[in-house]
Amino acid sequence: MKNRVLFKWMAALTLLISGALWAANGVDLTQSPEVSGTPEGSVKMPKQQGRMALNYVNQPPMIPHSVDGYQVSKNTNRCLQCHGVEHYRTTGAPRVSPTHFMDSDGKVLSNVAPRRYFCLQCHVPQTDAAPIVENTFTPSKGFGN
- Output the known binding site for heme c: 65, 79, 82-83, 100, 119, 122-123
Residues belonging to the binding site are 65, 79, 82-83, 100, 119, 122-123
CA torsion sign for 119, 121, 126, 127 is positive
For 87-116, give the DSSP string: THHHH-PPPPPGGGGB-TT--B-SS--GGG
Q: 123, 138, 49: which is closest to 80 by C-alpha? A: 123
- Write the DSSP symbol of residue 3: H
Give the start-end residues of each E strand in the chain: none
